Chains A and B, each alone.
Chain A
Amino acid sequence: MKLAYWMYAGPAHIGTLRVASSFKNVHAIMHAPLGDDYFNVMRSMLERERDFTPVTASIVDRHVLARGSQEKVVENITRKDKEERPDLIILTPTCTSSILQEDLQNFVDRAALESDSDVLLADVNHYRVNELQAADRTLEQVVRFYIEKAKKQNDLETIKTEKPSANIIGIFTLGFHNQHDSRELKRLLNDLGIEVNEIIPEGGSVTNLKKLPKAWFNFIPYREVGLMAANYLEKELNMPYVSTTPMGVVDTAVCIREIEKILKNISLNNLSGQQDSKKTFDDTLDNFHEVRKLSSNQNSESSFDFEEYIDQQSRFVSQAAWFSRSIDCQNLTGKKAIVFGDATHAASMTKILAREMGIRVSCAGTYCKHDADWFREQVQGFCDEVLITDDHTQVGDMIARIEPAAIFGTQMERHIGKRLDIPCGVISAPVHIQNFPLGYRPFLGYEGTNQIADLVYNSFTLGMEDHLLEIFGGHDTKEVITKSLSTDSTFSWATDGLAELNKIPGFVRGKIKRNTEKFARENGITEITVEVMYAAKEAAGA
């Protein structure tokens, strides 16, 4: 048992439901007790969804405990099949129902016979994986199911598109700024002359999954969801994928160069294929060559040279490169920041702050414990220390200890920041409704770099203005001056000492307070007066 007040990633079934309800015309049925369909509320509220969330519960109640679900699950599946006529129904166990150990696969098999929809059982262990891992798995499961089905029916569309094209995998509901990122990625690919073949799961249709192989490559913008599906497609259909997150100027360029490499490779293969047509390739490539021949004459490597585009965008379209040269950003040099979030966003943000803005990242952390190694490798050299935890009190204590000038984290860090009077920019889920803005706010691509620059700059200036106000006595004096979450201080501050402490600008006040208390502790002083403060200052030699 674990005493827990808050968690960063939700339970596994939430991940499955997010994938299911992102696809068009897919219905999820939860095998769950009353009240577990809270997902519908979140989706309806946070995403301000206009349509009914395609998730219903097959309620587990006292009768089910006594006699088993029996016909109930099958009936609920076939009923939903008739009511909504979905393409696919996914049966989702929850942590509660998975301990019942009913043979849900059997229910699914029986229901599949009676319904027109396809029926799948989400293959997820509720006690071992979290929301993000489950989403990754479920997406792979759905993709695999439909690729295999198409193979069986012999209608897998393996002929590559004439122009270069990509599938974007991993955009889905309740994702942090996913809708905006998706638009930005489409624009980016369009600029590069790459067509978007399919976007899954958001807005995608499962009946279109058989068209996935038409794309030249797969594009996985987020580390957390989509990699499993991409790996499967690579193994099964020889599709290459790009998994560098195009977040920040540098990484966007890296990502584009990776795409360039893949496209060049494919067209090189293509050319050699033309020269030596007897050479045996697998089916996919063969088909692909047929098409490519038609248009290959004008197609040379030079059309896949994106360097000029990268240069143009970095220097003039994105303002971020210019921003990091400007006086504003100069003033941020060496300021301390802390980054915490999911692996993708925390890693990218750490690199942006350290590499592109010259900010000192004192600590970078993630709650994606399952991906800790990747995260460490990514942020190595860009931060002083790495924190891998899903315990928010640890994060809070770390922030209290380091006292950064700004925090970039989740909603939890925003609230910690509020308590400690440190500004916070939200860069990652878990999120509140204000993180589903109506306006265009991508984090990826070149427009994303502008948004991030604003976010970073606003967080820091807010903090600076705050301090300036305090220095010039603009605010009411705040009585609470404790800057740590867990206070065990046994000192009493005399009124004159306190008054003096309050005169000290906020951003160094915590440090002075701590140093003074340390001095007092060492010298056995219990009441801290102005004299003690100055004695401490002198002792510290500052």
Chain B
Amino acid sequence: MVEALADNLTFECETGNYHTFCPISCVAWLYQKIEDSFFLVVGTKTCGYFLQNALGVMIFAEPRYAMAELEEGDISAQLNDYKELKRLCLQIKQDRNPSVIVWIGTCTTEIIKMDLEGMAPRLEAEIGIPIVVARANGLDYAFTQGEDTVLAAMAHRCPENLNSVVVESNKRLDTNHPRGLNTKLVFPPTGESSSTPDGSTFGSQKEKTNHPPLVLFGSLPSTVTTQLNMELKRQGIEVSGWLPSQRYTDLPILSDGVYVCGVNPFLSRTATTLMRRRKCKLIGAPFPIGPDGTRAWIEKICSVFGVIPQGLEEREKKIWQGLEDYLELVRGKSVFFMGDNLLEVSLARFLVRCGMIVYEIGIPYMDKRFQAAELAFLEKTCREMDVPMPRIVEKPDNYNQIQRIRELQPDLAITGMAHANPLEARGISTKWSVEFTFAQIHGFTNARDILELVTRPLRRNQSLESLGWTKLVKSALT
């Protein structure tokens, strides 16, 4: 049963026949994050049907996204795609007047080779609204990687310096938010502490240190960004901006010498773009998921800026103490990640620290360079907790995984909705993986939320324990 577990992290790659969400699902959270945006998904009925069903109730709230549904004439090029897109974008401009339109390229636009990147600048000049093109398609990417493609595209739009901002805001006189004003607020002049630390609610707050500008990338709910900003501020580190920002017009300034750090494990393209195209310096750290991850993340940033972190150890300890009731439930239990959203390594590392045994980490795509610090941290955590190293399975094969789950009988399978009910009917407790992408799981404050999710099936099991109906298929586990 434990033959699958080795002393070192092992990496495998299977067939890629697994279930995950299409990367266009990123519009669901990105349109809410970037308040003045409009997402136009250029694709077919299939894409639309997916969005409509995956996003459920949100569709009824007049969302700021829509499908540009391709018809037969578009596929066979009887219609001029430039004219068609222009017509739709003008309509969007008239109805919603967004500050940016994001075109999401799909599998179909890839296959018919629609030149979205070529058309966007022309149309942008013509209609006066920036158009960002992201190819978030199922041919190349899985689920959360959709956000990666959008942010990588958006990284090109971040102003280089204040001068370029002025130029660009002059170019676009129609916007209500001249960028120069806003960016000044979020970006203090480099190498100079602008003022005394503000917001004196935190007594332990340190005097602000002189450090180069730091921009964090990854889309998080604004409460979570505030929490992470605060955590860093306590160490005297000022976050000069986020990619993405709450509004497109407030994108952070990126240039040579700006330090960047990711908050999510699926942002490798964005990281690459920031390093290569915007000449930023990447801080490779574990991700701030779980109190252990959050501390390691802050420590890494501090070490880069030569700051000695203070009070972190106690803070982490205190958070762990607060989790004790949940930790009791998970200790010694085993977990199997089928893999679909790239958060798996960080979550597994946190759960190992919580005292769980991880059998397998399925993951759609493993960027060993971007996740290097996280992988090292996982390995270290396993050694410290004295549990076997999990196997990491890239591009997993769901059919084979189900066989392994049957063999291993884990206490918890973290899996997609396609497999959750059938596994439950066979007596395997499951947690729906997508909830981890929509819940608030970053920073010290939200560690409880992760465990709240992880323990939910375990708590349910406790309350239904005496009923004795665990296997509810006639041929249970054949």
Contact = CB atoms under 8 A, between A and B. Distances in A.
A320 to B, nearest CB: 32
B111 A99 contact: yes
B137 interface: yes
Contacts of A83: 399
A128 B76 CA distance: 13
Given A33-B107, A33-B139, A4 B49 contact: no
Contact of A3 (B68, B110, B137, B140): B68
A42 interface: yes
B465 to A, nearest CB: 20
Q: Considering residues A14, A33, A34, A76, which has the most beta carbons from chain B within 10 angstroms of its beta carbon?
A: A34
B71 A4 contact: no
A513 B50 CA distance: 40
Interface string A62-99: 10010000000000100000010000000000111001
A415 B49 CA distance: 18
B139 A62 contact: yes
B23 to A, nearest CB: 7
B46 A59 contact: no
Interface string B78-118: 01010011011001100000000000001110111000000
Contacts of B420: 44
Contacts of A59: 16-17
A1 B46 contact: no
Contacts of B46: 11, 13, 36, 94-96
A5 B59 CA distance: 8
Contact of B422 (A49, A62, A96, A99): A49
Contacts of A52: 402, 418-419, 422
Nearest to B425: A50
A42 B87 CA distance: 34
Contact of A11 (B16, B21, B45): B45
A3 B67 CA distance: 6
Contacts of A474: none
B54 interface: yes
A14 B53 CA distance: 12
A432 B57 CA distance: 10
A38 B54 contact: yes
Given A60-B139, A100-B111, A5 B67 contact: yes
A228 to B, nearest CB: 21
A33 B21 CA distance: 11
A52 B402 CA distance: 10
B418 A41 contact: yes
Given A95-B108, A127-B71, A127-B72, A37 B418 contact: yes
Q: Considering residues A10, A50, A96, A128, which has the most beta carbons from chain B within 10 angstroms of its beta carbon?
A: A96
B425 A51 contact: yes
Interface in A395-428: 412, 415
Interface in A19-59: 32-38, 40-42, 44-45, 48-53, 56-59
Q: Considering residues B50, B75, B87, B402, which has the most beta carbons from chain A within 10 angstroms of its beta carbon?
A: B50
Contact of B143 (A1, A35, A432): A35
Contact of A1 (B22, B88, B141): B88
B212 interface: no
B74 interface: yes
B425 to A, nearest CB: 4
Given A35-B21, A37-B19, A415 B60 contact: yes
A284 B42 CA distance: 53
A61 interface: yes
Contacts of A53: 418, 422
Given A33-B137, A62-B139, A99 B108 contact: yes
Contacts of A440: none
A7 B75 CA distance: 20
B19 A40 contact: yes
Interface residues of A, number: 51
Q: Considering residues B53, B87, B417, B419, which has the most beta carbons from chain A within 10 angstroms of its beta carbon?
A: B53
A534 interface: no
Q: Considering residues B42, B92, B107, which has the most beta carbons from chain A within 10 angstroms of its beta carbon?
A: B107
A100 B399 CA distance: 27
A35 B50 contact: yes
B375 interface: no
Contact of B138 (A11, A35, A128): A35
B421 A48 contact: yes
B473 interface: yes
Contacts of A96: 44, 46, 106-108, 111, 138
A6 interface: yes
Contacts of A61: 16, 139-140
Nearest to B475: A51
B52 interface: yes
A44 B421 contact: yes
B68 A1 contact: yes
A41 B42 CA distance: 23
Interface string B281-307: 000000000000000000000000000
Given A34-B20, A49-B421, A127-B72, A62 B108 contact: no
Contacts of A99: 75, 108, 111-112
A2 interface: yes
B87 to A, nearest CB: 8
B144 to A, nearest CB: 12
A293 to B, nearest CB: 42
Contacts of B138: 32-36, 96
A50 B50 contact: no
A412 B53 CA distance: 12
A35 B49 CA distance: 12
Interface string A91-123: 000111001100000000000000000000000
Nearest to B89: A3
Contacts of B472: 50
Nearest to A58: B17
B419 A34 contact: no
Given A1-B68, A35-B143, A36-B50, A51 B22 contact: no
A5 B142 CA distance: 23
Interface string B23-67: 110000000000000000010111011101110100110010011
A1 B69 contact: yes
| Closest 6 pairs between A and B when the two form their complex, measured CB to CB | A35-B22, A33-B138, A40-B418, A50-B425, A11-B45, A1-B84
9 contacts: A2-B68, A2-B69, A5-B67, A6-B52, A34-B20, A35-B138, A56-B399, A99-B112, A127-B72
Given A36-B138, A38-B49, A126-B45, 18 more contacts: A1-B68, A1-B81, A2-B69, A3-B69, A3-B92, A4-B68, A6-B48, A10-B49, A33-B22, A34-B22, A38-B21, A49-B421, A50-B421, A52-B422, A65-B111, A65-B139, A95-B45, A96-B108
